[in-house]
Structure 1
């Protein structure tokens, strides 16, 4: 079922880090990988973070990148981690890596490493924005309950020009029945309010995908859910 909507872009801002992307648990695990986990359990959060950043800075930039990627991507082989840690300097992996499901992790890795090294690594470019979605029929809103990420990426794609990378790389998924990559495109997505035929959503993604929306106020859109009833 293809549903029709009016979409209004609400707040829109560029970000270079995702709030609360790194927790005390993350810092402790990073320190453990570096072999520096003695006597840290009772340390204040700010002190633990500062010590972790200093410990990363004591390493060569590529070695620090390897520590961070080892923590983030347990599914990747050591050899792949070695390659990526070298490629990170000079590259923009949160945009360029072939598997977009890892882009959010790369984004947060760059944010942390750039701060630890006062530069060296590229500054990640992301966007945080809200959209107000109004349906003509209440039943149309059910697509967001069936497959939220896939439906929202398709919706937002309607507001972008046909030559953007999102269309060129994922047109089959946008028009098709399965979009497993959607969670790698919209990193964070939540429904904020729901009233009548309207819903407001808040999301975080890469400027790479949705930067063009900064210049758009409103558009008409069509979207549909994945065939599966389960969220990707």
Structure 2
């Protein structure tokens, strides 16, 4: 099926406001020994957390936040190693398990802001676009895999996704990694989409066309 893709806006951001909730802030404040966090004014929770975090050494704070978000995925040794690596590298881009990149980004940026830049500054990319089928009036809701395949014609050949997943991006092949490469995909009408991912995967320079056509074929699993 042929689609018309229009890139309406590309924003590079260093935080995604909706990720951390007030409940997260309260639970983290308790872990950073702030008393009666649940009684604090909701509008001040984030700033209170930053102040509470600053009373701890950066590595110790990193361990606390990593344990809070990733204790079900990582063991103690992995968390200790990550808390060291976060000072030197953007682990949210380089960690081998790409399924953890999104969470590591949010952890990294929370600590980056709490410590005024002692951690590397990572970025996320938010793309607003429309994807309209040219041969059908029945719009289906696209998956992350569908969206990445449709974006292919508008991306530079040097784009990391195209280089690492060339076959999946350009052929009728399954692309399970798309679920982790794209952090979030939302739509209200199955035509206009908001895509969130890492700048590591997709940056402004990667997008070489604002309007282009893409062909969507349903991937077939090969035994």
What TM-score, normalized to structure 2? 0.87
Retained in 2: the 8 A contact 1:143–1:225?
A: no
| 1:26-76 Cα distance to aligned partner (Å, 9 max, x none) | 112223333x26422221123322221112111111111111111121211
Where in structure 2 are there 5+ consecutive unaligned residues?
A: none
User: Structure 2 CA distance, aligned partners of 1:226 and 1:84?
Assistant: 36
Where in structure 1 are there 5+ consecutive unaligned residues?
A: none
What is aligned with 1:165?
Answer: 160
| 1:117-154 Cα distance to aligned partner (Å, 9 max, x none) | 0111111111112111121222784372xxx1111121
Retained in 2: the 8 A contact 1:157–1:166?
A: no
User: Structure 1 CA distance, aligned partners of 2:219 and 2:24?
Assistant: 34
Aligned-pair distance for 1:225? 4.1
Aligned-pair distance for 1:156? 1.6
User: Structure 2 CA distance, aligned partners of 1:66 and 1:183?
Assistant: 27
SS at match of 1:193: coil
Retained in 2: the 8 A contact 1:190–1:203?
A: yes
| 1:52-108 Cα distance to aligned partner (Å, 9 max, x none) | 111211111111111111112121111100000100112012211111111111111
Correspondence for 1:218 among 205, 211, 219: 211
What is aligned with 2:24?
Answer: 26
CA 1:11/1:163 → structure 2, altered by over 3 Å: closer, same or farther? closer
What is aligned with 1:206?
Answer: 198
User: Structure 2 CA distance, aligned partners of 1:129 and 1:213?
Assistant: 12
What is aligned with 1:187?
Answer: 183
What TM-score, normalized to structure 1? 0.84
User: Structure 1 residue 69 and structure 2 residue 69: aligned?
Assistant: no
Q: How many correspondences in the alignment?
A: 218
CA 1:224/1:109 → structure 2, altered by over 3 Å: closer, same or farther? farther
Retained in 2: the 8 A contact 1:151–1:226?
A: no
